[in-house]
């Protein structure tokens, strides 16, 4: 449901965050001032300004709590892709120990896997529909090729073991990135942020009920802080979705020149 927001360019996402926040602030400002009549106005005026700092601190804690998940997911996604690229690069280096047809075949399989990951898996992960049910055929074939090799000396025996280990590491890194691609801030966390933001805006409107201009300015300033907090989290919410996302560039760098597509 939130994919439309994650797929927006950052400029449009910024506009959306500020528009929704200021719409909420405008509605709250209008409702509070509409209700500020007679006895209710005196009740609103009795609200202590001292309640604003605790509300702001709570909102900051909610933002920090939510953002910590987002930063962790981004770091884990980058680490998984870099680890996968490193493992595949090691395979290509170790394959030189088997010159000729085995080396060429291994390199072709790695290149095929990288192209399939970039053109098929990445779009699926962006939609959070990546699956672990099917082992990539190219890597499975590369592993079978590795196990079928007949080492002629101790160096080739060592290279064979290390190629198999590197392919297993690549498969594990792929599994990690596919799992991470399904991670996002859940609806409960977004709801808590929205409720806390609304509480702060309501409190500001009530505290400054006898000064509408001052109330509007204070709500606009605080609304900007709310909007940029939401923007920061939303722009990094899904590690493989949107303009700011983890791409397959580390893998694509392993492809021979002129064969990146």
Assigned token pair, 11: 């400029």
> What would the pLDDT profile of 167-216 be if each residue is shown by its tens digit?
999 999 999 999 999 888 888 999 999 999 999 999 999 988 888 898 99
Structural contact between residues 130 and 239, judged by C-beta atoms closer than 8 angstroms: no
pLDDT of residue 166: 95
Considering the entire predicted model, what is its pTM? 0.84
pLDDT tens digit sequence for 55-107: 999 999 999 999 999 999 999 999 999 999 999 999 999 999 999 999 999 99
The 10s digit of each residue's pLDDT in 4-43 is 777 788 899 999 999 999 999 999 999 998 888 878 778 8
Give the separation between CA 218 and CA 41, rounded to whole angstroms. Answer: 19
Contact, 32 vs 207, CB < 8 A? Answer: no
Structural domain tally of the chain? 1
Instruction: Tell me the DSSP string of 93-157.
Output: HHGGGSTTHHHHHHHHHHHHHHHHIIIIIHHHHHTT---SSS--HHHHHHHHHHHH----SHHHH
pLDDT of residue 46: 80
Residue 47 confidence class, pLDDT cut points 50, 70, 90: confident
What residues make up the domain containing 139?
3-252
- Is residue 259 included in any domain, yes or no? no
Nearest-angstrom CA–CA distance, 53 and 225: 14
Distances (CA, A) of 118 to 62, 81, 114, 129, 240: 35, 11, 6, 15, 12
* In a domain? residue 104: yes
3-state SS track over 8-63: CCHHHHHHHHHHHHHHHHHHHHHHHHHHCCCHHHHHHHCCCHHHHHHHHHHHHHHH
261 belongs to a structural domain: no
pLDDT digits (tens, 9 = 90+) for 124-174: 998 888 888 788 999 999 999 999 988 889 999 999 999 999 999 999 999
Within-domain flag for 235: yes
In a domain, 260, yes or no: no
Is 258 domain-assigned?
no
């Amino acid at each position: 449901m939130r994919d439309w927001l994650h797929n927006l360019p950052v400029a449009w996402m910024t506009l959306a965050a500020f528009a929704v926040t200021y719409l909420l602030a405008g509605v709250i400002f209008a409702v509070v001032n509409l209700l500020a009549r007679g006895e209710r106005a005196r009740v609103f005026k009795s609200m202590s300004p001292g309640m604003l700092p605790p509300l702001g601190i709570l909102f900051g804690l909610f933002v920090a709590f939510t953002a910590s998940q987002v930063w962790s997911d981004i770091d884990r996604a980058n680490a998984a892709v870099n680890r996968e690229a490193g493992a595949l690069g090691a395979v290509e280096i170790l394959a030189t120990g088997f010159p000729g047809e085995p080396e060429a075949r291994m390199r072709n399989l790695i290149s095929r896997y990288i192209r399939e990951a970039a053109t098929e898996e990445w779009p699926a992960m962006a939609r959070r529909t990546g699956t672990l049910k099917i082992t990539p055929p190219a890597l499975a074939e590369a592993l079978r090729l590795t196990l079928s090799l007949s080492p002629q000396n101790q160096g080739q025996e060592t290279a064979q073991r290390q190629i198999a280990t590197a392919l297993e590491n690549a498969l594990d890194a792929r599994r990690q990135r596919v799992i991470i691609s399904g991670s996002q801030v859940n609806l409960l966390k977004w709801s808590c942020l929205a409720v806390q933001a609304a509480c702060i805006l309501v409190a500001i409107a009530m505290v400054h009920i006898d000064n509408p201009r001052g109330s509007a300015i204070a709500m606009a300033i605080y609304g900007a802080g709310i909007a940029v907090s939401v923007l920061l989290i939303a722009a990094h919410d899904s590690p493989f979705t949107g303009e700011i996302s983890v791409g397959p560039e580390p893998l694509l760098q392993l492809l021979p020149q002129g064969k990146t597509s």
